[in-house]
């Protein structure tokens, strides 16, 4: 089934039930969570730097990357979830595609980030019930970013296949949609 990205985002946000009020919860806790972001960023780049396969992508540019990463994490708590937000995640995806960073590394990074926020939110809010909903909101936001970054990788792969084979994009989409033989 081929649908527009706009439709896909709408369906994504419908299925995961990310409401405006849940997103507003994030801006309400921003002042409590943002002071933790430099430490999270340091830990994140420590993980990338200690694995030779990822270290080679970040060598010599650690401070600049930490700055952009910090700004991006802060934006998850402050930005509106709107067209600009979606476009920003797609652009970040395209940047990583251009830098030839395997999507595996982005998936691992997202997993790292999903693991760090719930305990910070629980500790800072001191409210187990409300903390669960706020953690849900940041996890949903990270999932949305991951979906959009992955979309950029998928688009790149499809356009490289059409470029290499000469297949038109609709034909390629139809081939992908073919049912597997039993």
Contacts to ligand HEM by CB under 6 A: 48, 54, 57-58, 65, 68-69, 72, 91-92, 95-96, 99, 101, 105-106, 109-110, 113
Let me know: does 29 contact 121? Beta carbons within 8 Å: yes
Let me know: does 125 contact 108? Beta carbons within 8 Å: no
Q: CA–CA separation, 120 vs 155, rounded Å?
A: 35
- Smallest gap from Cβ 106 to ligand HEM, in A, equals 5
Of 54 and 135, the one with the shorter C-beta distance to ligand HEM is: 54
- Smallest gap from Cβ 6 to ligand HEM, in A, equals 21
Of 99 and 177, the one with the shorter C-beta distance to ligand HEM is: 99
Alpha carbon of 56 to those of 51, 52, 101, 133: distances in Å? 9, 6, 10, 38
- Smallest gap from Cβ 86 to ligand HEM, in A, equals 14
- Smallest gap from Cβ 155 to ligand HEM, in A, equals 15
Of 114 and 136, the one with the shorter C-beta distance to ligand HEM is: 114
Side-chain half-sphere exposure of 39, counting CA atoms within 13 A: 7
- Smallest gap from Cβ 51 to ligand HEM, in A, equals 8
How many residues comprise the chain? Answer: 182
Of 15 and 99, the one with the shorter C-beta distance to ligand HEM is: 99
Q: CA–CA separation, 74 vs 10, rounded Å?
A: 24
Alpha carbon of 133 to those of 37, 69, 84, 128, 178: distances in Å? 20, 24, 25, 9, 40
- Smallest gap from Cβ 108 to ligand HEM, in A, equals 7
Of 13 and 101, the one with the shorter C-beta distance to ligand HEM is: 101
Of 99 and 164, the one with the shorter C-beta distance to ligand HEM is: 99
Q: CA–CA separation, 20 vs 104, rounded Å?
A: 31
């Amino acid at each position: 089934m081929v649908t527009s990205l706009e439709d896909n985002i709408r369906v994504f946000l419908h299925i995961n039930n990310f409401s405006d009020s849940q997103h507003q919860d994030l801006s309400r806790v921003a002042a409590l969570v943002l002071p933790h972001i430099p430490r999270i960023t340091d830990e994140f780049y420590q993980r990338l730097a200690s694995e030779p396969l990822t270290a080679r992508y970040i060598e010599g540019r650690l401070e600049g990357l930490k700055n952009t990463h910090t700004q991006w994490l802060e934006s998850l708590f402050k930005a509106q979830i709107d067209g600009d937000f979606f476009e920003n995640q797609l652009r970040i995806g395209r940047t990583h595609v251009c830098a030839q960073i395997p999507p595996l590394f982005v998936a691992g990074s997202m997993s790292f980030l999903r693991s760090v926020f719930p305990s910070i939110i629980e500790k800072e809010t001191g409210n187990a019930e409300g903390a669960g909903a706020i953690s849900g909101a940041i996890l949903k936001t990270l999932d949305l970013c991951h979906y959009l970054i992955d979309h950029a990788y998928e688009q790149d792969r499809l356009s490289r296949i059409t470029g290499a084979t000469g297949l038109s994009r609709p034909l390629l989409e139809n081939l992908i949609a073919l049912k597997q033989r039993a």
